[in-house]
Structure 1
Amino acid sequence: MSMLVLAAGIGPAVAGPPYQSDDPEPTDFGHFEIYSFDKGAFGRSGSSSASGLDFNYGAAPDLQLTAVVPFGYDAPSDGPSAFGPGNVELAAKYKLIHQDTLGLDVSVFPRVFLPSPSQTGDPYASILVPIWLQKDWGSTSAFGGGGCQFSLHDAAKNFCLYGATVTRQVFNDLQLGVEVFHQTSDGNGAPPSTTLGIGARYDLDDHYHLLGYVARGLENVSQTGSWAWYASVLFTY
């Protein structure tokens, strides 16, 4: 389960995916962003992965509505494998502060995780309440922030996460970035984890985009996973 937690984080200048940190920029009003993704983690204790769809819709100016539907696969080294629906996520991102007025973009992005009917997810609901910030300098952007996830079943399983990412548009169709991400213990026997990751986004055209990310564990890697990855095709319209 600890490696699945690491993989779960792995959601231009939009950012957010492929990074574990999010950015404060909501989907444009009246437009869609749909990610078809695969993500996972592996290490000495086994591997876990999840594939699915991440739907985002600009429901109003400064307001994005999100739904994520994942299917997970968990293969621990000391037990049987499992496959099934993960925790469906419902979220709303609202931009509170605009960079052109106060120097920073700031958004809240509360997220509800519904109970999973399979062993690949959490059988209980939880809520993540983060704040995300961003500052741009031409073709370079820095974004990050964090928040805490609260279990609606067991307060001992609450944990917090923090991340910081810097991206640069190196060509008109290619963006590269680097990220540091940290998660505290989740109360399931998993210790804190810290990862260092690199990501890329390649724009095939205005509607189709390729995203990739790989991260190396830096802390407690034998329990939380040595490596994590994320790959997706993004459709925008």
Structure 2
Amino acid sequence: MVALAEPAHAGPPFISDDPEPTPSGQFEIYAFNNGTNTRHGTAGETGIDFNYGAAPDLQLTATLPGGFAQRTGGGASFGPSNVELAAKYRFLHQDTFGLDVAFFPRLFLPSGSNITGDNSASLLLPVRVEKDWKSGWSAFRGGGCVFSAIRRADFCLTGAVLTYQLTPELQIGAELFHRTADAHGTPASSSVGAGWRYDLNKNVHLLGYLGRGIENADETNRYSWYTSVLFTF
């Protein structure tokens, strides 16, 4: 259950993130819920994800989650999960380089629990790349490794997403994601997923995602989900 409760390194609504920072001087705030089911049970998080455009090409992020875990055949547990602090910096742009490229380190603080979070600090060091087309298609991918305070390289991950702006209000996308085996003994996993974003208006947006493991699914991801309401201003 510890492996299930580890933080998800996500760029809403996908597991992978894109390199585009929050616009300078603006806020993006997600009220979210996510979870993953395996043969061991179901675990996930509910919380608030704050993002602020602190400067051109610089986004500051703080995620404040609470965790839940229910072991198969057992009771449910609720408690603190891992607070995340991050900074996304885009250092290359499509108009000059042909691609957006960003570095997005994320620090995960100890949760205080081995049931609803990881009780040690860890650091994710990823690079993200994106290409957009005028036709409404967009592709982004990236990867990195997680380093723990009590372990060296805990695991690495990579993912790729293809999205399409179906209507002015609705964007849809598909993702392929892979994560290596970790120091807890959880095996390597690969998954596919579909995500969407619907703009109710310029300030309120609905996001969702459904995923399914295609490698070691019983151990890592029989099914997974993400939902959120995004407020932008």
TM-score by length of 1: 0.94
Shift of residue 78 of structure 1? 5.9
Which residue pairs with 2:170 in the alignment?
174
- Extract unaligned runs of 5+ from structure 1: none
Q: Does 1:94 align with 2:93?
A: no
Which residue pairs with 1:65 in the alignment?
60
Q: Structure 1 residues 10, 95: closer, same or farther in 2, change over 3 A? A: closer
Q: Does 1:109 align with 2:108?
A: no
Shift of residue 43 of structure 1? 2.6
The equivalent position to 2:220 in structure 1, one of 214, 220, 224, is 224
Q: Does 1:123 align with 2:122?
A: no
Shift of residue 79 of structure 1? 5.2
Contact residue 170 and residue 197 of structure 2 kept, 8 A: yes
The equivalent position to 1:153 in structure 2, one of 150, 153, 160, is 150
Query: How many residue pairs were aligned?
Result: 230
Shift of residue 225 of structure 1? 2.4
Distance 2:99 2:165 in 1: 19
Contact residue 116 and residue 123 of structure 1 kept, 8 A: yes
Q: Percent identity?
A: 54
Paired residue secondary structure (1:23)? coil
Distance 2:69 2:219 in 1: 14
Distance 2:205 2:75 in 1: 36
Shift of residue 176 of structure 1? 0.2
Which 4+ residue blocks in structure 1 deviate beyond 4 angstroms? none
Distance 1:9 1:111 in 2: 11
Distance 1:142 1:51 in 2: 28
The equivalent position to 2:69 in structure 1, one of 61, 71, 74, is 74
- Extract unaligned runs of 5+ from structure 2: none
Distance 1:127 1:2 in 2: 16
Which residue pairs with 1:56 in the alignment?
51
Shift of residue 9 of structure 1? 2.3
Paired residue secondary structure (1:222)? helix
Shift of residue 158 of structure 1? 1.0
Supply the AA of the counterpart residue of 1:131: V
